[in-house]
Amino acid sequence: MSREQRGPNEKLGAVLALAGISNAGLARRVNDLGAQRGLTLRYDKTSVARWVSKGMVPQGAAPHLIAAAIGQKLGRPVPLHEIGLADADPAPEVGLAFPRDVGQAVKSATELYRLDLAGRRAGSGGIWQSLAGSFAVSAYATPASRWLITPADSSVAREANSAEGSGAPLKVGHSDVQKLREAAEDARRWDSKYGGGDWRSSMVPECLRVEAAPLLLGAYSDEVGRALFGASAELTRLAGWMAFDTGQQEAAQRYYIQALRLARAAADVPLGGYVLASMSLQATYRGFGDEGVDLAQAALERNRGLATARTMSFFRLVEARAHARAGDAQAAGAALRAAEGWLERARDGDNDPSWLGFYSYDRFAADAAECYRDLKAPRQVRRFTEQALSKPTEEFVRSHGLRLVVSAVAELESGNLDAACEQGVRAVEVAGRISSARTTEYVKDLLHRLEPYGDEPRVVELRERARPLLMAPA
């Protein structure tokens, strides 16, 4: 349904012409984007004609889907005011800002935390379904550049009279910050073992709303504030990573932007680099290899002389992933060699950040294998995958499943169909134990690669084993 007409929407008509999208084409794109978010929409060219010629405003998520559809075609975010729909619900803009002022940064982050739970309470499947925005890698440009220019705020102390809410303001101490850090550590462990969609992992947004938001809006000294912003940044990045793992790219993008802003307030340059690396991995996963390179190099640039050898190794590894996705074998190889060199320099006594506990040579080998998969070098994929799978662990179940799929792809490209199916069966077994849309996508990709061998008994068996996984609700 649409709201009452207001006269022709000339802005929408002009942008559609600029993007080269027909009325039928826009309707199809909006319906498809809605379906991706669990919404059943039946717009057609007549619906779009009403929006343009009569100025009717569609209800619910539709205005944001329209902006997202046009943005995908133009390759940039399209704000609602540009298409004459500024009076629609502005909620989807929350979380995309990277304020210069630290007070505004607190407001931006806490608004995002509150918005997420509001959507869940509404029973709409989460606010991200109703926001219906589209991942736009260009939204990372301003946060990355502002962080590079000024990676730390001069002061983050918050006076008692600046705290929001009624009654006495919350006085924040180091014990409050420690609780957030412990929550982050628990969430990291559950995420690695059970996937971003596990209910224990999904408690992170609730923790941000119930625990972190009141603290950020409380009163604290500069010292406590830096620690508070750092702990909140860790949790916010984790929320983004879990959203990324479950396929909620829009949510992940907003969480990442706020996590980077909080890391800047914490004056924690390595943590800011980690957030940028997470942004890079998302951009690379979405097919934006060049932008992934830029984000990874931004993480590297500010951390020269600051981060530990293991941290620098991880950043170079993320850069290699982006180069490989962009098809630059020479640059990917150079970044991998640099990553391995940094890792060889790492020592057990180094003051590595707690959030880097997952990174070891096994992880390096696993990502190196994915680099060579993207570069279509199956021999190298097999070599690194064998190293990555040499020490299976119950602690990193999802990673183990992803490595099995990569190994299966390498076997297939080497002409070893039986071995590919054997690894595929093992991967499906692992994927069935966790809640990770990303792992399921890896399995789907393997099955797609096996389609030319569809009548082979081992392929048929693998497809049958994977059926429950592929039919499970997202």
pLDDT of 404 > 50? The answer is yes
Of 127-136, 270-279, 389-398, 424-433, which has the strongest mean pLDDT? 270-279
Note the pLDDT tens digit of each residue in 94-147: 888 999 999 999 999 999 998 754 444 333 344 444 444 567 888 899 999 999
pLDDT of 166 > 80? The answer is no
pLDDT of 74 > 90? The answer is no
pLDDT of 26 > 60? The answer is yes
Residue 291's identity, in one-letter code, is E
Mind listing the domains of the chain with CATH numbers? 10-89 (1.10.260), 102-364 (1.25.40.10), 365-474 (1.25.40)
More reliable by pLDDT, 420 or 80: 420
pLDDT of 165 > 70? The answer is no
Residue 251: the pLDDT is: 86
Residue 42: the pLDDT is: 86
pLDDT of 5 > 60? The answer is no
Residue 298: the pLDDT is: 96
Residues linked to residue 158 through DSSP beta bridges, in sequence order = 220
Residue 55: the pLDDT is: 86
More reliable by pLDDT, 56 or 222: 222
Residue 132: the pLDDT is: 43
Percent of the chain scoring above 70 in pLDDT: 87
Supply the Cα-derived Rg of the chain in whole angstroms.
23
The Cβ-side half-sphere exposure at 461, using a 13 Å CA radius, reads: 13
Contacts of 360 (CB under 8 A, 6+ apart): none
- Give me the mean pLDDT over the 12-17 stretch: 92
Distances (CA, A) of 335 to 165, 338, 430: 49, 5, 30
Contact 170, 163 (CB under 8 A): yes
Residue 27: the pLDDT is: 93
- Interior angle at CA 98, CA 140 and CA 192, nearest 5: 60
Q: Which helix (H) or strand (E) holds 322?
A: helix 309-325
Note the pLDDT tens digit of each residue in 234-288: 999 999 999 898 888 888 999 999 999 999 999 999 999 999 999 999 999 999 9
Q: Which helix (H) or strand (E) holds 183?
A: helix 174-194
Sign of CA dihedral 218, 113, 257, 103: negative
More reliable by pLDDT, 143 or 401: 143
- Give me the mean pLDDT over the 296-310 stretch: 95
Residue 103, Cβ neighbours under 10 Å: how many? 11
pLDDT of 435 > 90? The answer is no
Identify the band that residue 160 occupies on the pLDDT scale cut at 50, 70 and 90.
Answer: low
Identify the band that residue 164 occupies on the pLDDT scale cut at 50, 70 and 90.
Answer: low
Nearest to 243 by CA among 215, 213, 281: 281
- Give me the mean pLDDT over the 338-366 stretch: 93
- Give me the mean pLDDT over the 46-74 stretch: 85
Residue 125: the pLDDT is: 41
Identify the band that residue 62 occupies on the pLDDT scale cut at 50, 70 and 90.
Answer: confident
Residue 280: the pLDDT is: 98
Count, in order, helices (H) and strands (E) of the chain. 22, 0
Q: Which of the 8 DSSP states describes residue 58?
A: B
Residue 59's identity, in one-letter code, is Q
Two tokens at 350? 């180094």
Contact 253, 139 (CB under 8 A): yes
More reliable by pLDDT, 127 or 328: 328
Identify the band that residue 39 occupies on the pLDDT scale cut at 50, 70 and 90.
Answer: low
Residue 64: the pLDDT is: 79
pTM of the model: 0.80
Residue 350: the pLDDT is: 92
Residue 38: the pLDDT is: 53
